[in-house]
Amino acid sequence: MPENFTYTLEATDGRARAGRFNTPHGDLLTPVFAPVGTAATVKAVTPVQLSEIGASLVLANTYHLYLRPGDALVAEMGGLHEFMQWHGPMLTDSGGFQVFSLGENSKISDDGVTFRSHIDGSTHHFTPERAVAIQENLGADIIMAFDECADPYDYEYSQRAMQRTHVWLERCLEAKTRDDQALFGIVQGGIHPDLRAQSAEFVASMDTPGIAIGGLSVGETKEEMHTTLDAVMPLLPENKPHYLMGVGTVEDLVNGVARGVDIFDCVLPTRLGRNNAAMLRNGGRLNLKNAPFADDPNPIDENCTCYTCRTFTRAYLRHLISAREMLSATLLSIHNLHTLIHLTQEMREAIQAGTFEETFQDLLVA
């Protein structure tokens, strides 16, 4: 394991964990939620605003940055931290999920994936080695192994994809050259407990600095997600951070932490922000486009301390939306990101105090 990356388990409450993961750009206090900056920008929010919200980790996307502006250019500009002026810890995914999401525009083999760009239709080929090389150019602190995300309900496909993912992890580890990046292996296996157990045991045996759980929040039910996590999480090493990829509702974060997850990311809070919706701490949402908010003098959430709720009324936000002013996306994204980031901080404090289940009982699912 690279010396730059160590995980310290600081407190537990049931299976919920509070920890600290060291990276070259600062410590991550877990549980932690990472805003997604797909194309080296968290949509509608500046890096300064992210810092003010309390963000400590930002995710960027290998597939999108490879296509535009190109990973070589990002490297020439000093890497992602310098390019986008975010100087805290960063994570890049491998591009696997995006490539496989292209459907008929991608062709998978044991060597890798050939795909057509969604931008201009040009043909490209990703291998595990190429995915690592691109991420080394991008320069994030945490990088991901190239994996295959299968239909969660198709057992045979999930098994083939899991086996390929394991081989690709070995190839990624062999290809990796930078000691200042932590490469996480990814557990796959659909919603099938036996496959997930096989995958968890294999990835754990590779002794990567952290372990991700992929292939969830891709169409399965919440109950199936929880059952899958119940099968996987007890098999993961306690001395490594556990990262649940692409999950980002209030309920998902609370129930993930309850099962031992440390790191989350999702596009949901900024996507909702661009579509007029505000997330609430209790798991609910408000559509600020609705007419009843036109003369509402209250903030989105009177208990929220974000810049938006401290400063603006629902009536003003509704006005911005009706006038199609782009500031609405920024203000709602600030609120939504603040909601999730401070939720993880609140969960950390509750774990340390031994009051996690009591504090979050209304959102927990057995």
Is residue 111 assigned to a domain? yes
Is residue 74 assigned to a domain? yes
Expressed in percent and rounded to 5, the helix, strand and coil fractions of the chain are 45, 20, 40
> Please, is 104 exposed, middle or buried when counting C-beta atoms within 10 Å of its C-beta (0-12, 13-18, 19+)?
exposed
pLDDT at residue 3, as a whole number: 67
With a CB cutoff of 8 Å and minimum separation 6, the contacts of 253 are 31, 33, 247, 264, 340, 343, 344, 347
Reply yes or no on whether the pLDDT at 14 is more than 90.
yes
**C-alpha to C-alpha distance for 340 and 284, rounded to whole angstroms:** 13
Reported as a pLDDT band with limits 50, 70 and 90, residue 1 is very low
307-325 pLDDT per residue, tens: 999 999 999 999 999 999 9
Strands 16-23 and 211-213: unpaired
State the CATH number of the domain containing residue 44: 3.20.20.105
**What average pLDDT does this structure show over 148-175?**
96
Is residue 306 assigned to a domain? no
Closest among 65, 94, 95, 93 to 80, alpha carbons compared: 65
Is residue 363 assigned to a domain? no
pLDDT at residue 95, as a whole number: 84
Mean pLDDT of the chain: 96
**What average pLDDT does this structure show over 62-87?**
97
Is 265 a known active-site residue? yes
328-340 pLDDT per residue, tens: 999 999 999 999 9
Is residue 134 assigned to a domain? yes
SS3 call for 169? helix
pLDDT at residue 274, as a whole number: 98
Which of these ranges, 15-24, 89-98, 271-280, has the smallest mean pLDDT? 89-98
| Tally of structural domains, the chain | 1
Share of the chain above pLDDT 90, in %: 95
**C-alpha to C-alpha distance for 342 and 9, rounded to whole angstroms:** 20
Is residue 329 assigned to a domain? no
Reply yes or no on whether the pLDDT at 2 is more than 60.
no
pLDDT at residue 102, as a whole number: 76
Is 93 a known active-site residue? yes
Is residue 298 assigned to a domain? no
The active-site residue, picked from 13, 141, 147, 265, is 265
The active-site residue, picked from 93, 147, 252, 262, is 93
Reported as a pLDDT band with limits 50, 70 and 90, residue 4 is confident
Reported as a pLDDT band with limits 50, 70 and 90, residue 197 is very high
Reported as a pLDDT band with limits 50, 70 and 90, residue 90 is very high
Is residue 25 assigned to a domain? yes
Tell me which residue range forms the domain holding 201: 7-266
**What average pLDDT does this structure show over 22-30?**
98
